[in-house]
Amino acid sequence: MKAVLLLPLLLVLCSGNVVKNDNERDQDWWETTIFYQIYPRSFADSDGDGIGDLNGITSKLGYLKELGVGAVWLSPMFQSPMYDFGYDISDFYAVHDEYGTMEDFENLIAAANELGIKLVLDLVPNHTSNESVWFQEALNGNEKYYNYFVWEDAVIDENGDRQPPNNWRSHFRGSAWEWRDEVGQYYLHQFVVGQPDLNYRNPEVVEEMKNIIRFWLDKGIAGFRVDAVNCLFEVDKNLFGGKYPDEPLSGNLDVHPDSHDYLSHIYTKDQNETYYMVYEFRDVFDEFTAKDGLTRVMMTEVYASIQDVMRYYGEGDLLGAQIPFNFDLITDVDASSSANDIKYTIDKFMTYKPVDKEANWVVGNHDNKRMATRYGPSLVDGMNMIVLLLPGVGVTYMGEELGMVDGYVSWEDTVDPSGCNTNDPINYADSSRDPCRTPFQWNAEKNSGFSTADKTWLPVADGYETLNVEAQKAAERSHYKVYQALAKLRQDKVFRYGRYDSVAFNKDVFVFRRWYNDETYLVVVNMRDTDYEIDLTYFENVIGDVSVVLRSIQSPKNEGDVFNASSVPVVGYEGIVLKL
Ligand code: GLC
Ligand code: MG
């Protein structure tokens, strides 16, 4: 009786299809690569004006290739008066003159393609610049363009003075409304005054944005990172008698009353309509994929609840972003976090993620403190191991491969509106994003090899004389070399198809396992400066010896060292990749 029942089961287990892990499938280019973010103003300056540019990037593509990066996402390089350093676009169809010309851009794509590096641009759909033709035309009374923006009448207070329509606040402090005499109304700007919000309830705006997407996809780019996309729609004011309602207080009393976090953004963020707009944008991407077979990727920039972030993947038959940025390793954890916190944060994304979609891992960008600053320089290799060896897409902000830290930028040198608008020469640095945007560190020469100018747009961070590409390439062991090895290792089937589980062995030591068929790797990251001995046989099927494949630069181990899985010594802040 039993044998009869077991036989079909055995047959199933032994048939190739089932024993072979069934998630081995063709993977698309974006699923296995690393996306490397370049902030164009700070990467490489080719013409000596102290400002990075496109030709600078082109000249460094070989570096990226050698590093093992397969795709670059570029912060905006479109024409801009630079009130928000390129996120205020005055001409969506042109290259910013400090960064080069359209020809330079075409050269950049051609050179990247030649090396097999895909280029992804930054789409900024929520707003334009107040110096754009569209906004200028709106001020001139052109109705078509008036309707591109969000206008509202003033409120007259008891003294007869003009006041903004409601309490909505800009991300960069103060009212989100700015008065224009020419129109006799206020316009909405969720970001700086120079970034008037576009009106997504106007189909002509939607069509215009789709044409912008088409224009750049036509030039051969592989997709877009989509900026501030959860701000696209404001609540429908017709539901409130034709007036935009006040937002409630967040209850967060630690923040300045003028700051964005003082309010709870129930009317200006995460509106239901936004998701459907993203799915419509995705259809435009897919028009191009249908033509030439190359998948165009969408990466959405949204800081929101995990449930809301997941909606960007799509819903039912409606497709959204392949890569809704997972910012949890930026927002939920830092140097003070325990191994348990790290595990919990990683599991959070894995738990909510649709089972048929890829995860992604991000530890830094041009809006947040650098990874090595947030986690501490000792954890650079450990964090890169996490980003590059977990299942899914790895994203790197330029300099993370070197462990670049935030630079000091004095109040006088501060240019980021988020810092300047604090009007606070003492505490501005808490809000300023300049420190994570200081020039890339190429070598120990003038301006870290970034530029030959006498003054660069932001000062180079201290310590560049020893922390730079050239030094790390020359050193026997360096973050650069660990990163390069990780980029290679992640091409292995185990990391492409393998399953994942993890354990916080104690409050300090986080370990994850990747396995595929009979291959198993264990990645150990010690978050603290305490030594331990850990018993990896805690993981099911982990017994016998493990050997060191890679280790962080402070590790006393050597590649090839063998340990018994039941007692692996781990020193402070050590990161180790072990193979069973
Ligand atoms: C995004 C960008 C940020 C910019 C803002 C407004 O958050 O990453 O740099 O200031 O959008 O465009
Ligand atoms: Mg330049």
| Alpha carbon distances (Å) from 482 to 292, 479, 552, 557 | 36, 5, 7, 14
Catalytic residue among 84, 122, 301, 416: 301
Give the Å distance between the CA of 58 and the centre of ligand 1.
Answer: 24
Q: Minimum-distance ligand to the CA of 75?
A: 1
Beta-ladder partners of 122: 225
Does residue 246 lie in a domain region?
yes
> Whole-angstrom Cα distance, residue 150 to residue 19?
58
Give the Å distance between the CA of 56 and the centre of ligand 2.
Answer: 7
The mean pLDDT values, 10 residues at a time, for the chain of 580 residues are 48 45 78 97 98 98 98 98 98 98 98 98 98 98 98 97 98 97 98 98 98 97 98 97 97 94 98 98 98 97 98 97 98 98 98 96 98 98 98 98 98 97 94 98 98 98 98 98 98 96 98 96 98 97 97 97 98 98
Of all protein residues, the one whose alpha carbon is nearest to atom 11 of ligand 1 is 228
Give the Å distance between the CA of 40 and the centre of ligand 2.
Answer: 9
Return the pLDDT at 15. 44
Residue 463 exposure: Cα atoms within 13 Å on the Cβ side: 11
Give the Å distance between the CA of 50 and the centre of ligand 2.
Answer: 6
Of all protein residues, the one whose alpha carbon is nearest to atom 4 of ligand 1 is 87
Q: Minimum-distance ligand to the CA of 231?
A: 1
- C-alpha closest to that of 49 among 449, 461, 454, 459: 454
Return the pLDDT at 18. 44
Does residue 330 lie in a domain region?
no
Of all protein residues, the one whose alpha carbon is nearest to atom 9 of ligand 1 is 367
> Whole-angstrom Cα distance, residue 326 to residue 307?
12
pTM to 2 decimal places: 0.95
DSSP codes joined into one string, 410-450: -TTT---HHHHTT--TTTGGGT--GGGGSPP---SSGGGGS
Return the pLDDT at 1. 42
Task: Tally the residues of the chain.
Answer: 580
Give the nearest ligand 1 atom to 190 CA: 6
Q: Minimum-distance ligand to the CA of 84?
A: 1
Determine the structural domain holding residue 143 and report its residue range.
128-197+236-265
Does residue 166 lie in a domain region?
yes
Does residue 579 lie in a domain region?
no
| Alpha carbon distances (Å) from 90 to 5, 85, 262, 281 | 71, 12, 30, 21
Return the pLDDT at 13. 46
Does residue 174 lie in a domain region?
yes
CATH of the domain at 134: 3.90.400.10
- Pocket probe for ligand 1: among 366, 367, 431, the residue whose CB has the most ligand atoms within 8 Å is 367
Return the pLDDT at 26. 86
Catalytic residue among 53, 122, 178, 227: 227
Total number of domains in the chain:
1
Active site residue 301: yes
Does residue 54 lie in a domain region?
no
Q: Which residues line ligand 1 (CB under 6 A)?
A: 84, 87, 124, 191, 227-228, 301, 366-367
Fill in the DSSP letter of residue 162.
E
Does residue 36 lie in a domain region?
no
**Amino acid identity, position 49:** D
Does residue 280 lie in a domain region?
no
